[in-house]
Amino acid sequence: MSVNDPQPAHSARPEQSGAPHTGDDTTVKVPRKKTPHPIFHSEIAICWILLAAMIVVNALREFGVLDPSTRDMSNAALAWFTPDRYVSLIWIPIYALLALWLVCMGNTKQRRKKTGPLPVSLQALLFIVAAVIQVGWLLAWGFNQYWLAILAAFMDTILIYLLGYHTHKKDTSIWGWAPFTLFGTWMLLETIIVFVRVICLAFAKSGDINNTAQGVCTVALTVVILAVGAFMRFKFHDWIFGIVALWTIIGIAFHIMDVSKFTGVLIIVVATIGALITYIPWNRVNGHLSKLDTTTTGKKITR
């Protein structure tokens, strides 16, 4: 071969061609990393904006700007099934956990999975819809659209639980279900509370409200909610529902203490019994008692 003859194409050095060499003189194409659709960056921003909107609107409600009960219900104890003001502090851990969840979702690759034809993740879609409805029911309540507010609050509760269910499938840790169990439980109780307040307001406009009936209904609702909390604890290992229920019920007891001390004390007693039933580790206690019983009955009597 002459010195001036060009070298064959296959003799080119792999490092000059910029592609890896496999040994059989074939070039392997390195696939480019797919960059996520721009909307996957904007969906997180939308979620943050809606979270901020929820905080602002809810703060307006808590300070009385969007709370018509301060105008329509002159008697603070008109609706007995209403918690004290301090119970609303539960919004602080709710929003903190939601913010933490958004940070985690922004760092995970799960958000890059599209939802059918929509270039958005299912988690973000559910959160956006739930946040919009959350703001909507607060505004409806503030503008005296009570039944619309109750319907929107109920729908929002369902969406929050759906979001928690879907998130828990992706993340089985406590951060995958705790934010939405806390949020959903409080929204469920909030829906019941505003429903009772609207019913009491309707009765107040037509005449006096029977205190005995209010006391019976309040105690009955307390028992039902505590029973649901115990069911969630033993069936689904959800211990957050019961804690939120106890937090709310104790607030209700303090709220009506000036009106009916007997009912307030009775609710505290019922809540204490419910807490013991729900959170005592009965499996360990029952196992320990069974072991003691076996040890006692299995002993041989020696004379």
Burial 16-51 (b: 16+ CB within 10 A, else e): eeeeeeeeeeeeeeeeeeeeeeeebeebbeebeebb
pLDDT at 176: 81
The C-alpha angle 49, 55, 59, rounded to 5 degrees, equals 145
Mapped onto helix, strand or coil, the DSSP state of residue 74 is coil
Instruction: Provide Rg for the chain, Cα atoms.
Output: 30
CA distance readout (Å), 90 to 53, 84, 174, 179? 17, 12, 18, 12
Instruction: Kindly report the pTM of this predicted structure.
Output: 0.78
pLDDT at 4: 53
pLDDT at 196: 92
**Rounded Cα–Cα distance for residues 65 and 60 (Å):** 5
pLDDT per residue as tens, the chain (303 positions): 554 555 555 544 444 444 555 555 555 555 555 544 444 568 889 999 999 999 999 999 988 887 765 555 444 447 899 999 899 999 999 999 999 999 988 776 544 555 455 557 888 999 999 999 999 999 999 898 999 999 999 999 999 999 999 888 887 888 888 999 999 999 999 999 999 988 888 887 776 778 888 999 999 999 999 999 999 999 999 999 999 999 999 999 999 998 899 999 999 999 999 999 999 988 777 765 555 445 544 544 343
pLDDT at 52: 97
- Contact at 8 Å (CB) between 45 and 53? no
**Rounded Cα–Cα distance for residues 41 and 163 (Å):** 20
pLDDT at 31: 54
Other C-beta atoms lying within 10 Å of the C-beta of residue 297: 7
Tokens linked to 120? 């958005």
**Rounded Cα–Cα distance for residues 302 and 250 (Å):** 55
Q: How do the domains of the chain map onto residue ranges?
A: 37-207, 210-282
The DSSP annotation for 17-71 comes to HTS-B-SSS-BPPPPPPPPPPHHHHHHHHHHHHHHHHHHHHHHHHHTTTT-THHH
**End-to-end alpha-carbon separation of the chain, Å?**
113
pLDDT at 210: 82
